[in-house]
A and B are shown apart, each in its own frame.
Chain A
Amino acid sequence: MANVTLRNVRKVYPGGFEAIKGIDIEVGDGQFCVLVGPSGCGKSTLLRMVAGLETITSGEIDIGGRIVNAIEPADRDIAMVFQNYALYPHMSVYNNMAYGLRNRRVPEAEIKTRVEDAARILELGTMLERKPRQLSGGQRQRVAMGRAIVRKPKVFLFDEPLSNLDAKLRIAMRVEIRKLQRRLNTTAIYVTHDQLEAMTLADILVVMNGGKVEQIGNPLEIYQRPATTFVASFIGAPPMNLMPIEGVRAQLHGADAVPAEAGQLGIRPEDFELADTVPAGGIGLDLRVDAIEHVGAETYVYGARQGSDSQDSLIAAANDVIVRLPGTAAPDIGARIRAVAPRGKLHLFSVDGRQRLPI
């Protein structure tokens, strides 16, 4: 049980590359914090710094009221689950879980109880004598979690633990991880590049980009009120439509009320409707249907805005707008449609996209 606090944490590699550019995060006791961002944004580096596998250039990392900057990974009271599981290939499942405890000189009887408890929770009871290579991917994943659980750490660290699993198993394990963490009520920090995983797991979501935090908050709050265009396009699938305000001024009702510094307008695909009349203060876009994706429950329409440059281009340009429609909708390619959205669903950003503006 512990809070984890990062205070102005920076990481500069010997070559001068600044991987982490000053990050402050506060994770409360028992909370599930997810770090999400594109590859190379520094999320794994940050997690490894919390684990003690990477040194901290400056700033402080505090686990349970103790500054751990100079403390060895083994003494930080953390447990980590790796992307490739990192199970010891030559040891049985039992020994894989017991190894860390033996190194801590926990009595053998206690080890046995803890390992058997963990095995019961994870339904690994019949596999304790097997070697990792005799297990399926999902079972290996559970052994890796078992190894973390038996330690009874203050903090669980997960480094993209599900990315080696197939899609179906990934969803099942995602739910398992969440349930397990709730049950044990242990603080967790979880790294992923999958925004869906991030949304579903997180109590606190940290969106990172280029070694910096773009936004921290509750997942729904981030989804509903993204602070930057980066967050807006990263969280949510398909991504939010972003368009320069100048191009759509004519279609936007009450454009005069838009702040002068506004540069970009964002609308989520799911906030559109097909209608002839534009709601008061809302926006109405006339689109030519370029492509359609049926995914069953819903249909995504890729449309080119009337009067925009991308009319004749085959490549989805920045001017393309994605509209989500119910699964039953099936407009023809080339058809003209009018997609409208109410004012409450519009997002306004500054020209550089770094700032959210009121609308």
Chain B
Amino acid sequence: MVEHRPLRDLVAYLVLSLGVVIFAFPVYVAFVASTYDAATVVSGNLPLVPGGRMLENYYRAVFVGGSRFMNQPVGVLLVNSFITAIGIAVGKIIISILSAFAIVYFRFPFRKTAFWIIFITLMLPVEVRIYPTYKVVADLRMLDTYAGLILPLIASATGTLLFRQFFMTVPDELLEASRIDGAGPLRFFWDTLLPLSMTTVAALFVIQFIYGWNQYLWPLLITTKDSMQTIVIGIKKMLTTTDELAEWQLAMATAVLAMLPPVAVVIFMQRLFVKGLVETEK
């Protein structure tokens, strides 16, 4: 129902704008804080317009590193986070699309059981199974490695369910037409199912990239070397000081930098979404 009522529109816009301001303001303050020196930030009288030390702060954050406790430059951390998040997102998509394919299209013993086991893992987030997972990863000597950061997080019940639901909506006739056209199961997957799933893949990629990017507890546990830390951990460590001034301006610069890749992923993938939504037809 689309009605045009100016007053209603005005109220709607006001409420929405207020929401935007409330959400965006802290981000803006973080940005402003990243353009002053430490003393100004800590003094509590932070101006609302950006200061003049932006380039210097960002240069130090990216290439030099923060406090004594955090001697890796942010550039390294960004790379670590990026590899981890991409690894988790891609790994999750591959694992979940394949397991959904198996569950939907193959009749094997204990198929239902397999599905329910995957389903149940939804109820066990990383935090709950953190000790056994840590033990396994440590025994496999994967502490301080990308594999250790990525592998335990790539099993995804959510993704499997998402793909399962999508596959169930693909008409059976497409599979049958493929069979008559001489395509085996993998060919059907590759030639038909995967192209049709691209929208779902894009959606899952965005969600899982951000999930991977924002991981805190797991990287904190299994990384001991500074050079393997992710940016989220980096921000935290920058503020860990004993008796000197925490370099808030660098932490804020790092936070702003940490926001950029997920934003870029969302913006880039959004175009794919729209494309996928317009072009796919089941």
- Which residue numbers of A lie inside 8 Å of B, CB to CB? 51-53, 72-75, 78-80, 82-90, 99-100, 103-104, 131-133, 147
Determine whether the beta carbon of A100 is less than 8 Å from that of B196: no
Determine whether the beta carbon of B174 is less than 8 Å from that of A86: yes
Residues of A near B3 (CB, < 8 A) are none
* Interface hits, B162-186 → A, CB 8 Å: 171, 173-174, 176-177, 179-183
Residues of B near A88 (CB, < 8 A) are 174, 177, 191-192
Q: A90-B195, A99-B191 are in contact. Are A78 and B180 (CB under 8 A)?
A: yes
Residues of A near B282 (CB, < 8 A) are 89
Instruction: Return 9 A-B CB contacts under 8 Å, by A number.
Output: A73-B176, A73-B179, A79-B180, A82-B173, A85-B173, A86-B174, A88-B191, A90-B279, A147-B177
Residues of A near B183 (CB, < 8 A) are 74, 99, 103
Give Cα A100–Cα B282 distance, bound, in whole angstroms. Answer: 20
- Which residue numbers of B lie inside 8 Å of A, CB to CB? 171, 173-174, 176-177, 179-183, 187, 191-192, 195-196, 279-282
Residues of B near A86 (CB, < 8 A) are 171, 173-174, 176-177
Determine whether the beta carbon of A84 is less than 8 Å from that of B182: no
Determine whether the beta carbon of B176 is less than 8 Å from that of A89: no
Residues of A near B174 (CB, < 8 A) are 86, 88
Determine whether the beta carbon of B181 is less than 8 Å from that of A84: no
Which of these, B176, B182, B192, contacts A80 with CB under 8 Å?
Answer: B176
Give Cα A104–Cα B187 distance, bound, in whole angstroms. Answer: 12
Residues of B near A51 (CB, < 8 A) are 176, 180
- Which residue of chain B has the shortest Cβ distance to A103 in the bound complex? B182
Give Cα A99–Cα B181 distance, bound, in whole angstroms. Answer: 7
Please give me the 10 A-B residue pairs with the lowest Cβ-Cβ distance, nearest first.
Answer: A100-B181, A86-B173, A74-B182, A103-B182, A86-B177, A90-B195, A133-B281, A82-B173, A89-B281, A73-B179
Determine whether the beta carbon of A73 is less than 8 Å from that of B281: no
Which of these, A74, A79, A147, contacts B179 with CB under 8 Å?
Answer: A74
Determine whether the beta carbon of A100 is less than 8 Å from that of B180: yes
Residues of A near B176 (CB, < 8 A) are 51, 53, 73, 80, 82, 86
Contacts A90-B196, A90-B279, A147-B181 known; list 5 others, CB within 8 Å: A51-B176, A72-B179, A86-B171, A88-B177, A103-B183
Interface centre among A52, A78, A80 (most CB of B within 10 A): A80
Which of these, A75, A100, A132, contacts B281 with CB under 8 Å?
Answer: A132
Give Cα A52–Cα B180 distance, bound, in whole angstroms. Answer: 9
Give Cα A190–Cα B237 distance, bound, in whole angstroms. Answer: 73
Determine whether the beta carbon of B181 is less than 8 Å from that of A89: no
Determine whether the beta carbon of A103 is less than 8 Å from that of B195: no
Interface centre among B180, B182, B192 (most CB of A within 10 A): B180
Give Cα A333–Cα B95 distance, bound, in whole angstroms. Answer: 72
- Which residue of chain B has the shortest Cβ distance to A82 in the bound complex? B173
Determine whether the beta carbon of B182 is less than 8 Å from that of A100: yes
Give Cα A145–Cα B280 distance, bound, in whole angstroms. Answer: 22
- Which residue of chain B has the shortest Cβ distance to A100 in the bound complex? B181
Residues of B near A79 (CB, < 8 A) are 180
Residues of A near B195 (CB, < 8 A) are 90
How distant is B108 from chain A, measured CB to nearest CB, in Å? 16
Which of these, B171, B179, B187, contacts A84 with CB under 8 Å?
Answer: B171
Determine whether the beta carbon of A84 is less than 8 Å from that of B280: no
Which of these, A85, A89, A132, contacts B196 with CB under 8 Å?
Answer: A89
